[in-house]
Chains A and B, each alone.
Chain A
Amino acid sequence: MRTGKTALITGITGQDGAYLAQFLLDKGYLVHGIRRRTSSFNTARIDHLYKDIHDPTTRLFLHYGDMTDSSSLIRIIQQVQPDEIYNLAAQSHVAVSFEEPEYTANSDALGPLRLLEAIRILKLENKTRFYQASTSELYGMVQEIPQKETTPFYPRSPYGVAKLYAYWITINYREAYGIYACNGILFNHESPVRGETFVTRKITRALARIKLGLQDCLYLGNLDAKRDWGHAKDYVEMQWLMLQQDRAEDFVIATGIQHSVRDFVDAATQELGMSIRWEGKGIEEKGYWIKKIKKQELRSRSAPCPIIQVDKRYFRPTEVETLLGDASKAREKLGWGPKITFRELVAEMMCEDLKSAKRDELIRKNGYLNHDRYR
Chain B
Amino acid sequence: MKTALITGLGGQDGSYLAELLLEKGYRIIGAVRDVRRTEDSLPITLKNKVELVAWSMLIQEEMVSVMRHYQPTELYNLAAYSSGAGMYDDPVGIGEVNGLSVVRMLEAVREVNIGIRFCQASSREVFGESFEGLQTECTRVNPRSPYGAAKLYADSMIRIYRQHYGLFACSAILFNHESPRRSLGFVTRKITHGAAKIKLGLSQELYLGNLNACRDWGFAGDYVRAMWLMLQQSQPTDCVIATGESHSVREFCARAFTHLGLDYRQFLADEPAAYRPAESVPLVGDARKAKEVLGWEPQIRFCQLVDMMVDADLQMLKEKNN
CA distance A102 to B277 in the complex (A): 29
Q: Is the Cβ of B146 less than 8 Å from the Cβ of A172?
A: yes
A164–B159 Cα distance when bound, in Å, is 14
A161 (CB) vs chain B CBs: closest residue = B156
State in angstroms the CA–CA spacing of A113 and B163 once bound together.
Answer: 28
| A150-185 contact mask (Cβ, 8 Å, vs B): 1 or 0 | 001001111001101100110010011100000000
Q: Which parts of B122-168 form the interface with A (CB within 8 Å)? A: 140, 143-146, 148-150, 152-153, 156-157, 160, 163-164
- B150, B157, B163, B277: which contacts A318 (Cβ < 8 A)? B163
Tell me, in angstroms, the Cα distance from A98 to B160 when the chains sit together.
10
Write out the residue numbers on chain A whose beta carbons fall within 8 Å of the beta carbon of B157: 101, 158, 161
Chain B count of residues within 8 A CB distance of the other chain: 28
* Minimum CB–CB distance for B43 against chain A, Å: 34
Is there contact, CB below 8 Å, between A318 and B164? yes
Inter-chain contact B160/A156, CB cutoff 8 Å? yes
Q: Chain A nearest CB: distance from B136 CB in Å? A: 14
Q: With a CB–CB cut-off of 8 A, which chain B residues contact A105?
A: 99-100, 103, 153
Interface residues in B216-247 (C-beta closer than 8 Å to A): none
The answer to whether A169 and B149 have CB atoms under 8 Å apart is: yes
Min distance, Cβ B69 to any Cβ of chain A, angstroms:
22
The A interface is mostly helix, strand or loop, or mixed, namely helix
Q: Does A317 contact B (CB under 8 A)?
A: yes
Is B282's beta carbon under 8 Å from chain A?
A: no
Q: How far is the CA of A110 from the CA of B91 in the complex (A)?
A: 9
B163 and A317 form a contact (CB under 8 A): yes
Complex Cα gap A68–B270 (Å): 41
Question: CB-nearest residue of chain B relative to A105?
Answer: B100
A309 within 8 A of B: no
Q: Which residues of the partner chain A approach B91 to less than 8 Å between Cβ atoms?
A: 113, 117, 169
Indicate whether A70 reaches chain B with its CB closer than 8 angstroms: yes
State the Cβ distance, A35 to closest chain B Cβ, in Å. Answer: 22
| Complex Cα spacing A157 to B161, Å | 9
User: Could you tell me if A165 and B107 are in contact, using CB atoms closer than 8 angstroms?
Assistant: no
C-alpha gap A168/B153 in the complex (Å): 10
Residue B92 is within 8 A (CB to CB) of chain A in the complex: yes
Complex Cα spacing A157 to B148, Å: 20
Q: A102-B107, A156-B163, A161-B157 are in contact. List 20 more A-B contacts (CB 8 A).
A: A102-B60, A102-B100, A105-B100, A110-B92, A110-B100, A113-B92, A113-B146, A114-B92, A117-B92, A157-B160, A161-B153, A165-B150, A168-B148, A168-B149, A168-B152, A169-B149, A172-B146, A172-B149, A176-B145, A317-B163
Using a CB–CB distance below 8 Å, which chain A residues touch chain B?
A: 70, 98, 101-102, 105-106, 109-110, 113-114, 117, 152, 155-158, 161-162, 164-165, 168-169, 172, 175-177, 316-318
